[in-house]
């Protein structure tokens, strides 16, 4: 299985990209969460100039955050700096929208956005709509300004629902998911994508890149000899994923209760404790300002008790070398092409562990 890394966009990110390339990692991604992290296009521009081989990804952007023309311009500009090395993840904008106290967009809008990006980034014209006004648009001056000749890889963000996977099938893209380590769930996503693709005539002719790889974002903690799998070090290495899930469950408990209802009693109690600890409620209109600061950042020691073993095992990879390789092999058999880790404790060291394990 290939290996890659996802980090927050911030100054100095290009130094991590250089280290990732030197370690032999396949891809280097940054998040697109505008009110939490820095800008991914700025960050990847620095990475593009500092590297020569590693693929560079945005994981993920959304039509609820950016217009298709502006996004395509950013992608094609990156493609001019790093020809053929750009990956664009697209999604409904779940967390990025929630940090703004807004709902994510629809699957239909996501599909139209993906289609427009594929067309524009391949130098084709596409239909662009604002309200009732519809026009065909395309890059008016490519050449030295943007690169529409080299392919850009697109992947659609999907979790458990079939709608996003169906979009990936119809658009001929890959899939990316966050913390989804259940092989059965991945088989279902791949089946949905395959069935949707079979119902789309001449689909490959419309796509920017024929790649349809699957990526999973997680965290990785290699246990020391005789280390407790739920030690403070293990909780610190995986806590950002667990807290992100608990924050999302707390934020959506009132208007989208399905996630909270899927959690067990211990996990639901952790959601309530998180709300109390942050000084907010599931219905407070400003709860996003209390729940999402430091999103996907290193947790505090005071929050270690919220990092439940059940959620660590669900969202992250913790174990001995043999344990990790067994789980990774199972994921590979389920159709995962690349394992992406999101390191927060010591990114260079965590990337080196990943590289030694998989490359």
DSSP string covering 111-165: HHHHHHHHHHHTT--EEEEETTEEEEE--S--TTS---SS--EEEEE-SS-HHHH
Give the chain's end-to-end CA distance (angstroms, integer): 8
Query: Collapsing DSSP states into helix, strand and coil, what is residue 296?
Result: coil
Mean pLDDT of 173-196: 96
pLDDT tens column, 82-108: 999 999 999 998 888 888 988 899 999
Alpha carbons 317 and 313: distance in angstroms, whole number? 7
**Which 8-state DSSP code applies to residue 298?**
P
Query: Collapsing DSSP states into helix, strand and coil, what is residue 279?
Result: coil
Query: Collapsing DSSP states into helix, strand and coil, what is residue 347?
Result: helix
Residue 353: pLDDT band (50, 70, 90) is very high
In this structure, of 126-135, 159-168, 251-260, 321-330, the range with the lowest mean pLDDT score is: 251-260
**What is the per-residue DSSP string for 21-49?**
HHTT-SEEEE---TTTS--HHHHHHHHHH
* Alpha-helix runs per DSSP H in the chain: 13-22, 40-50, 68-81, 94-98, 107-121, 162-171, 183-198, 232-252, 258-262, 265-278, 288-291, 309-315, 321-333, 347-358
Q: Are strands 126-130 and 133-137 parallel, antiparallel or unpaired?
A: antiparallel
Q: Which of 236, 297, 241 is nearest to 38 (CA)?
A: 297
pLDDT tens column, 267-322: 999 999 999 999 999 999 999 999 999 999 999 999 999 999 999 999 999 999 99
Residue 257: pLDDT band (50, 70, 90) is low
Per-residue pLDDT for 266 more than 60?
yes
pLDDT tens column, 114-156: 999 999 999 999 999 998 999 999 999 877 899 999 999 999 9
Q: Which of 91, 31, 5, 11 is nearest to 342 (CA)?
A: 5
Mean pLDDT of the chain: 93
Mean pLDDT of 211-216: 92
Per-residue pLDDT for 340 more than 80?
yes
**Residues in CB range of 159: below 8 A, 6 or more apart:** 177, 178, 180
pLDDT of residue 261: 76
pLDDT of residue 203: 47
**Bridge partner list, 217:** 178, 340
């Amino acid at each position: 299985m290939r290996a890659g890394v996802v980090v927050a966009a911030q100054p100095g990110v290009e130094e991590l990209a250089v280290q990732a390339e030197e370690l032999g990692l396949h891809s280097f991604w940054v998040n697109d969460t505008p009110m939490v992290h820095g800008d991914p296009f700025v960050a990847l521009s620095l990475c593009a100039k500092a590297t020569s081989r590693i693929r560079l990804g945005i994981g993920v952007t959304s039509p609820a955050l950016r217009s298709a023309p502006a996004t395509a311009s950013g992608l094609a500009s990156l493609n001019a700096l790093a020809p053929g090395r750009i990956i664009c993840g697209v999604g409904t904008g779940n967390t990025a929208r929630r940090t703004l106290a807004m709902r994510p967009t629809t699957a239909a809008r996501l599909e139209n956005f993906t289609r427009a990006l594929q067309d524009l980034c391949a130098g084709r014209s596409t239909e662009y709509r604002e309200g009732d006004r519809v026009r065909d648009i395309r890059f008016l001056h490519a050449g030295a300004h943007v690169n529409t000749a080299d392919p850009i890889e697109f992947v659609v963000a999907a979790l458990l629902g079939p709608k996003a996977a169906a979009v990936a099938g119809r658009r001929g893209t890959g899939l990316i998911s966050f913390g989804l380590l259940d092989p059965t769930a991945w088989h279902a996503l791949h089946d949905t994508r395959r069935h949707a693709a079979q119902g789309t005539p001449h689909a490959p002719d419309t796509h920017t890149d024929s790649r349809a790889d699957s990526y999973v974002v997680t965290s990785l903690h290699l246990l020391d000899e005789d280390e407790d799998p739920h030690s403070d070090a293990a909780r610190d290495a995986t806590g950002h994923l667990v807290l992100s899930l608990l924050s999302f469950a707390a934020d959506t408990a009132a208007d989208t209760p399905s996630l909270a209802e899927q959690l067990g009693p211990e996990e639901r109690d952790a959601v309530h404790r998180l709300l109390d600890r942050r000084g907010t409620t599931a219905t407070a209109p400003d709860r996003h300002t209390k729940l999402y600061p430091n999103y996907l950042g290193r947790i505090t020691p005071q929050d270690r008790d919220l990092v439940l073993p059940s959620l660590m095992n669900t969202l992250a990879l913790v174990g001995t070398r043999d344990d990790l390789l067994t789980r990774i092999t199972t994921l590979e058999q389920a159709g995962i092409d690349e394992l992406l880790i999101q390191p927060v404790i010591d990114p260079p060291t965590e990337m080196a562990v990943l590289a030694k394990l998989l490359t």
